Amino acid sequence: MAQKSIALSDKPVTLSARIQDYIQLTKFRLSSLVVFSAATGYIIAEGADFQWSTLLLLMLGGFLVTGSSNAFNQVIERDLDKLMDRTANRPLPAGRMSVPEALVASVLMGVSGVLILWLGINALCGILSLVSLVIYTTIYTPAKRVTPFAVLIGAFPGAFPPLLGWVAGKGEIGLEALILYALQFIWQFPHFWAIAWVLHDDYLKAGFRMLPGPHGRDRSSAFQTMVYTLGLVPMAFLPLAFHFTGWFTALLLAACGIYFSLQAIRLYRSLEIKDAQKLMFGSFIYLPVVQLIWMLDKLV
């Protein structure tokens, strides 16, 4: 077995394989969702008057900062990732990438991303991205093994993308930006808890206790997940209350929240992993759809 392992490690690395490793290091799909959230925040702020040059800089800088955060996370947790089935094949725990290489990539992405947002758009954009990177890397990541409140900690930088997009357009933090931030902040709880419910056994191998209930997959965890999800329904009417959107948009946002909440209610009733999976996939659909509806309200 040892000889086989050595032979595999000596196997020539192709360009395609290296690209795949960096896709994993940056968590490309997750980073793309973050970039989409920032882009919709920008277009919501600017409406049809948005500038393509600013949008492209926002997307590039946002992706680099997010990729840097994810890469730093994997450097810090590389030994823990070896213990979990879903992360054991990442480039660092699998030995396909060295720690110095990953660190250099993390720093280069972080610095260049912050500078693109700071110098290419405005200083507040750069500051917000830097704050997000620091909180995610130095506070949220180590807190995951200490307390389930890590989800709360991570929710603060995790809700920055639409706020960052708004600031890219307006150069300041406005009330509509805060509503965008609040919506994504609340959404993160059912989103992460649904993932944690599905992956609970795998998380325990690395000592991560992400579910809020005292016994993990219990009624308390399901109840808290349901409460936060239900909270998204009345929040759908906040943009209408402050005249940022119309009634039609508000009703569509509320309908999305109701459907999402029904999935959380099913989990509360059943406590079944299959219902947590439905809630997890529902969370991936809910946020981009809501942001897209809000964005289209500004363009039509």
Q: Is the pLDDT of residue 141 over 50?
A: yes
Final residue belonging to a domain, choices 150, 173, 196: 173
pLDDT tens, residue by residue, 73-110: 999 999 999 999 999 999 999 999 999 999 999 999 99
Angle at alpha carbon of residue 17, lines to 16 and 22, rounded to 5°: 100
Q: Which of 173, 188, 219 is the last residue of a domain?
A: 173
Which tens digits make up the pLDDT trace of 2-45?
A: 333 333 345 567 989 999 999 999 999 999 999 999 999 999 99
Give the range of the structural domain holding residue 154, as residue numbers without chain letter.
1-173
86-100, 136-150, 151-165, 262-276: lowest mean pLDDT where?
136-150
- Mean pLDDT on 44-57: 96
What is the full DSSP assignment across 233-298?
HHHTTHHHHTTSS-HHHHHHHHHHHHHHHHHHHHHHHH--HHHHHHHHHHHHHHHHHHHHHHHHHH
Torsion 49-52-56-57 (CA) sign: negative
Q: Do 192 and 149 share a domain, yes or no?
A: no
Quote the number of domains for the chain. 2
Question: 60: domain CATH number?
Answer: 1.10.357.140
Q: Are residues 14 and 111 in the same domain?
A: yes
Report d(CA 90, CA 20) in Å as an integer: 10
Same domain, 169 and 191: no
